[in-house]
Structure 1
């Protein structure tokens, strides 16, 4: 029995518990006048979180890899040829409640920004120079959540019952200061993480140096 368990776990791939939904976004880098920018979408009024800034992306379908999902969603939303998407690699991902949001970094090549005609899920697109994010950190705001328990919650099965110190969930939300668009939440978090990796590993020449 122990031998079977050892054999199984020798090749087992750990995964987060209770995750029932997986999403993938593409973080697109595109050159504008020879300068690398990050490309963002503004979500249309016909889908959830209208007016928010997001990266192209969506649900990972059964039997689909994270990379495949990110590319498929980008091709659908920006209506660009798949050949123009040069995948650089996967970046870090976000785990919240029962979902995982994966991120794939890619360069959009061989297509001009002005030639992109997006679909009905997108209200508009815009870009921000990577240099802007290197020079400007986001503001951070801490939010405390409230835990709500059902009336039949079995307090009698835990030490101190209702007096148990459950703690309160806490999250930090970044906000970037853009004059004409909203950039916050998950999209800002992934942006901040990318810029942190770029700066930490000196992957981008800072003009101020």
Structure 2
């Protein structure tokens, strides 16, 4: 029986159209071999070891790849669940169009520790930060693989400022400067108070 159409639909319906090879064991006796064949045919695209996403029907599979932010959200989602991981830091800044330059890492908050994941379709990696994801101020956005959570502009500014207290990271400082006019200071203060970042808020506000 040709199971390819079924698997294609399965992947297309998965969160962020991404699955692990292990998830296909219910369909294939030898899922890794079959998945490689689907990749060769341009149906699937390999993001990381054992993790594949669906190639859009209109795309050229020989050149297409998702944005690093979409890939980060997708890989984190297959490990932690749909709408659990949250894009943070510079990844969130890029989603909010506050950092036009490409970066070599994806940043995501997750509820448990995980070592960095090397992406296999580019020279980049996913870096996880163990956080109380439910406590983060986040919104749902549409990426080129589907919907994912990303920190709001206010949460992103506070996170970037806390991670770069001396202002030495040029990317972080550029993103903060771009995002600051879009932020609601009352929301910033509320998040800072709730997440024990009052000193961070006062420092970044004093510099504006």
Q: Does the pair score TM above 0.5?
A: no
Q: Which has the higher contact order (CA 8 A, sep 6+)?
A: 1
Higher strand share: 1
Higher percent of residues as helix: 2
The structure having more radius of gyration, on CA atoms, is 1
TM range (shorter): under 0.3
Give the TM-score, by structure 2 length. Answer: 0.23
